[in-house]
Amino acid sequence: MQFLVQPGSVQDAAVAVPGDKSISHRAVMLGSIATGTTHISGFLNGEDCLATLAAMSAMGVDTEQSDATTVTVHGVGLHGLKPPSSALDMGNSGTAMRLMAGLLSGQAFDSTLVGDESLTGRPMQRIITPLEAMGASIGSRGGRPPLEVKGGLSLRAIHYDLPVASAQVKSAVLLAGLYAGGITSVSEPAVTRDHTERMLAAMGVDVSTGNGRIAVPGGQELQGGTVEVPGDLSSAAFVLLAACISDSADVVINKVGVNPTRTGVIDILRSMGARIELDNAGMRSGEPVADIRVRASQLRGIDVDPSLVSLAIDEFPVLFVAAACADGVTRFSGIGELRVKESDRIGAMAAGLRELGIHVEETQDGAVVHGGRFGGGTVRSFGDHRIAMSLAIAGTVAESAVTVLDTDAVATSFPGFTALFRSLGATIEEAGS
């Protein structure tokens, strides 16, 4: 599929974005190994999270999806999972594969994790190293999927200093720690999203946090409950961008998760001059939630604070487009992790922006983006959902039509993307490639 975008910036509206992907993955996984039933509302009905749901069902967990966003998981307890009859397909999701590797390391049976072409190229040694230090055995293809996880091994607690800030690696180690003897702990060099710790605590697990260290004693049983998944801030970021670069839009995005370990995109956009406000703040299932109001803004180029990188790691494609629309020059540094996401996101965004007439200079761990005007043209997404959506938003303020190629992966995280943006007044269509 491809997106065909005609110029025409968004208009005033109130919208809701799909449920948080990170929280949806965790709710299904943790609900599955909990005792009792977990009721999930606001579930992200995207391909990535459906792959996690299918994987847990393949291991004997009874799940029910009464509608697109409502899921009931009948937990089987910490040691109740059963051997799957075939490899577990994680689709496009690095989150699912890395967390599942930690979870499966403590099981009594062997298992294999596979994924699509993009996921098969992503680095997994970063989880293999600490999990094998705990006593796990994980076969791979040179540190890349498929992952063959050996069962029936005794795991031991470790302390692990994360070499790179990564919520996925942290979570994989903590999930394995539930099956280890002793207290498993992780120290992170920078704050990363803490959805795993919050949900474990909500399910009755003793989790201690402080001074960049997270610790979990092994052998604890989780208790099922209710999980209300808020709107995904990573998805809301595309709406924030579209409104910011519009002529005059005033847009409200309802009930979005604003976990402080995720709000770097808001902080960076505000420092660029974006008019963003948080209203009706509250809590849902242990997660901060608010309505986000964003208005058309005059953005200015900045040097992005590297300390905010781990708080906005998935939103940099959005920020590249914001930088291209800003007055002056924006410098990104310390974002080398983007080169091993679903695509090389630094290279992919630089290529797309250049194709639309923007001057971009790349470095190994960053880029310099010179503000300008988008021309029309055809751009590649490299099969990366966030690249596809970011370049589509650029098309709303381009001087002529923009075609974004290879957009199928958008369904992994933002089902209904084109429909939502048409409701905002954008002219964006899907077409067969």
Pick the closest to residue 382 from 374, 373, 391 (CA basis). 391
CB 195 within 8 A of CB 227: no
Q: Rounded to an integer, what distance in angstroms lies between the CA atom of residue 192 and that of residue 295?
A: 28
Same domain, 215 and 245: no
Residues 62 and 140 in one domain: yes
* DSSP assignments along 236-262, one per residue: HHHHHHHHHTSSS-EEEEEEEE--TTT
Residues 134 and 176 in one domain: yes
- The model's pLDDT over 59-111, given as tens digits with 9 standing for 90+, comes to 999 999 999 999 999 999 999 999 999 999 999 999 999 999 999 999 999 99
Q: Which H helix or E strand runs over 328?
A: none
- Tell me how many helices (H) and strands (E) the chain has: 13, 26
Task: Report the alpha-carbon distance of residue 184 to residue 10 in Å, rounded.
Answer: 48
Interatomic CA distance for residues 215 and 240, integer angstroms: 35
Q: Are 244 and 268 contacting, i.e. CB atoms less than 8 angstroms apart?
A: no
Distance CA 178, CA 236 (A): 33
- Cα separation, 58 vs 104, whole angstroms: 13
Residue 382: pLDDT band by 50, 70, 90 thresholds? very high
Residue 133 amino acid letter: A
* Closest-CA residue to 121 (of 144, 155, 152, 149): 144
pLDDT digits (tens, 9 = 90+) for 273-286: 999 999 999 999 99
How many structural domains is the chain composed of?
Answer: 2
Token duo for residue 70? 């409502």
CB 433 within 8 A of CB 2: yes
Is pLDDT above 90 for 336? Answer: yes
Tell me the pLDDT band of 231, cut-offs 50, 70 and 90: very high
Domain-ending residue, one of 209, 228, 247: 228
Closest CA to 267 of 284, 248, 292: 292
Task: Looking at the structure, tell me whether residues 253 and 367 fall in a common domain.
Answer: yes
Can you tell me the mean pLDDT for 2-23? 96
209 pLDDT tier (thresholds 50, 70, 90): very high
Which pLDDT does position 9 carry in this prediction?
82
User: Residue 246 sits in a domain of what CATH number?
Assistant: 3.65.10.10
Furthest-apart CA pair in the chain: how many Å? Answer: 61
- Total residues belonging to the chain: 433
Residue 214 and residue 182 share a domain: yes
**Residues sharing a CB contact under 8 Å with residue 277, sequence separation 6 or more, in sequence order:** 292, 293, 294
Inter-axis angle of helices 316-325 and 385-395, nearest 10: 20
CA separation for the pair 364, 345 (Å, rounded):
12
Structure-derived torsion over alpha carbons of residues 377, 382, 384, 388, reported in degrees to the nearest 10: 0
The C-alpha atoms of residue 133 and residue 130 are separated, in whole angstroms, by: 5
Q: With 90 as the cut, is the pLDDT of residue 432 above it? A: no
Query: 187 and 256 in one domain?
Result: no
Q: Which of 179, 212, 228 is the last residue of a domain?
A: 228
User: Catalytic annotation on 314?
Assistant: yes
For residues 43 and 153, membership in a common domain is answered with yes
Average pLDDT for the chain: 97
Query: Of 228, 254, 283, which residue sits at a domain end?
Result: 228
- Are both 267 and 355 inside the same structural domain? yes
Domain carrying residue 40: 21-228
pLDDT digits (tens, 9 = 90+) for 26-60: 999 999 999 999 999 999 999 999 999 999 999 99
Q: In which band, very low, low, confident or very high, does the pLDDT at 433 lie, cut at 50, 70 and 90?
A: low
- Catalytic residue (choose from 303, 314, 327, 406): 314
Instruction: Name 19's bridge partners.
Output: 231
Same domain, yes or no, for 80 and 198?
A: yes
In this structure, are 193 and 236 located in the same domain? no
Whether residues 212 and 243 fall in one domain = no
Task: Count CB atoms within 10 A of the CB of residue 85.
Answer: 7
Note whether 210 and 294 are same-domain residues: no
Q: CA 274, 372, 5, 240: dihedral to nearest 10 degrees? A: -10
**Nearest 5°: CA angle at 128, between 127 and 129?**
90
Residue 325 confidence (pLDDT) above 70 = yes
Is pLDDT at 317 greater than 90 in this prediction?
Answer: yes
- Predicted confidence at residue 258, as pLDDT, reads 98
pTM above 0.75, yes or no: yes
Residue 217 structure tokens: 């004693």
Query: By C-alpha distance, which of 430, 420, 416, 413 is closest to 50?
Result: 413
